Amino acid sequence: MSNKTLPFFDLKKQYFSIKEEIDSAVQDVIASGNYILGPKVKEFESKFAEYNSTKFAIGVNSGTDALRLALEACDINKGSEVIVPVNTFIATALAVSSIGAKVVFAEFNKETYNIDVQKLESLITKKTKAIIPVHMYGLPSEIDKITDIAKKYNLIVIEDACQAHGAFYKERMVGTWGDVGVYSFYPSKNLGAYGDAGMVVTNDKNISERIISLRNYGQSVKYYHNVRGSNCRLDEIQAAVLNVKLKHLNRWIEKRRKLANLYVNKLKGLNIDLPCEFDGAKHVYYLFVVRVKEREKFQRHLETNNIQTMIHYPVPLHIQEAYSDLHYKKGDFKLAEEYADKILSLPLYPELEEEQICYVCEKIKAYFHEYN
Ligand SMILES: *Cc1c(COP(=O)(O)O)cnc(C)c1O
């Protein structure tokens, strides 16, 4: 096995494990002649709402657009400030920028990678309109504390749950604590389509109706447009795929957790920082992120042993060129900068075999024997 590459993702393997179900669902759509906002989208919206115990779920074409539409539906606009964790995937910030609002970056907790609740209040100004907590790598944020702060200052909470399908905190699903929750079904996510797709969930009827209109040219009745919307619809084929996959999601999450546990048991005691869990929070391990000194050397060692790894993410948002106009500088977010040089994501997906995890752990142990 050592001369065969252990890939970071293996999306084909999952497809082949449910091929018949997927093929028949996709064929049904093609044969139906109903390709846009048809029965499959309706079915998936209702099943995903039920899965999350939320009143409304509105299918859209990506996680990024789900965020953008959620912001628009909550009347966030030019002149608003929106707090976003500095270590998230850039799409969270891009959605804020795309509606002309100002991104205000927030530091994160050094154990959980989630927004640092202690430092949140100091970022709030008169212009602050919303907070977007991100449940990073599949671990819930301390969302109860965040919604408490939001209430105190009358702020909107939009949960970015793009990495955390099926995660919950204190028995309530992430994405349902704030005013709106946002999901991506990008192929590699815990629940992934075979293309781009996303979802907005909410218990607020008004927000739901606005998003239904905004995703479809701003019309509530065909050819009658009350607002300037755009085309951000979830398509029938992707919805058909997601209907099939949703049935398997909990099983896949349990497998991820089992493999994560195996990693933790095999790696504890080594000079490597492992992901944390905390009371009441269910981690769904979209990514298994560790921290090591001399990350490049460590990564090369794994590469030499045909183990693919990735970095999520190598450059914190405050020093990304795209955000240079916000005038943040190096040193503004020391933890983010330090972690960007230390973090590494190890392969973890439900189709991995336990012996493959053991193989990765053996090679990691060998590394520390050799260099420590
Ligand atoms: C993937 C992701 C997004 C964007 O989703 P797309 O469907 O790719 O647009 C947004 N936020 C986070 C945290 C993500 O991981």
> Is-contact 178 133, C-beta < 8 A?
yes
State the Cα–Cα distance between residues 299 and 4, nearest whole angstrom: 17
| Residue range 99-138, pLDDT digits in tens | 999 999 999 999 999 999 999 999 999 999 999 999 999 9
| Residue range 162-203, pLDDT digits in tens | 999 999 999 999 999 999 999 999 999 999 999 999 999 999
pLDDT(360) > 90? yes
Mutate to test the pocket of ligand 1, among 97, 134, 158, 162 (most ligand atoms within 8 A of CB): 162
pLDDT(282) > 60? yes
| Burial track 234-257 (b if 16+ CB lie within 10 A, e otherwise) | bbbbbbbbbbbbbebbeebbebbb
| Residue range 322-339, pLDDT digits in tens | 999 999 999 999 999 999
Q: What is the pLDDT of residue 291?
A: 98
Q: Which atom of ligand 1 is nearest to the CA of 186?
A: 7
User: With bands split at pLDDT 50, 70 and 90, how would you rate the model's confidence at 358?
Assistant: very high
Q: What is the pLDDT of residue 157?
A: 98
State the Cα–Cα distance between residues 328 and 319, nearest whole angstrom: 7
State the Cα–Cα distance between residues 277 and 114, nearest whole angstrom: 12
Stretch 207-230: mean pLDDT: 94
Q: What is the pLDDT of residue 4?
A: 84
**Share of residues in the chain with pLDDT > 70 (%):** 99
Stretch 16-22: mean pLDDT: 98
Q: What is the pLDDT of residue 110?
A: 97
State the Cα–Cα distance between residues 168 and 176, nearest whole angstrom: 9
- Residues lining ligand 1, Cβ inside 6 A: 62-64, 88-89, 91-92, 134, 160, 162-163, 184, 186, 196, 198
Mutate to test the pocket of ligand 1, among 61, 115, 163 (most ligand atoms within 8 A of CB): 163
Q: Return all residues near 205 (Cβ < 8 A) that are at least 6 apart.
A: 55, 56
User: With bands split at pLDDT 50, 70 and 90, how would you rate the model's confidence at 371?
Assistant: confident
Closest residue by Cα to atom 5, ligand 1, is 63
pLDDT(279) > 80? yes
Amino acid at residue number 301: H
Mutate to test the pocket of ligand 1, among 64, 136, 200, 312 (most ligand atoms within 8 A of CB): 64
Stretch 298-309: mean pLDDT: 98
> Is-contact 143 159, C-beta < 8 A?
yes
Query: How far away, in angstroms, is 86 Cα from ligand 1 center?
Result: 15
Mean pLDDT of all residues in the chain?
97
> What is the pTM assigned to this prediction?
0.97
Q: What is the pLDDT of residue 3?
A: 62
Q: How far is CA 12 from CA 22, 149, 187, 309, 345, in A?
A: 12, 43, 10, 18, 20
User: With bands split at pLDDT 50, 70 and 90, how would you rate the model's confidence at 250?
Assistant: very high
Q: Which atom of ligand 1 is nearest to the CA of 163?
A: 15
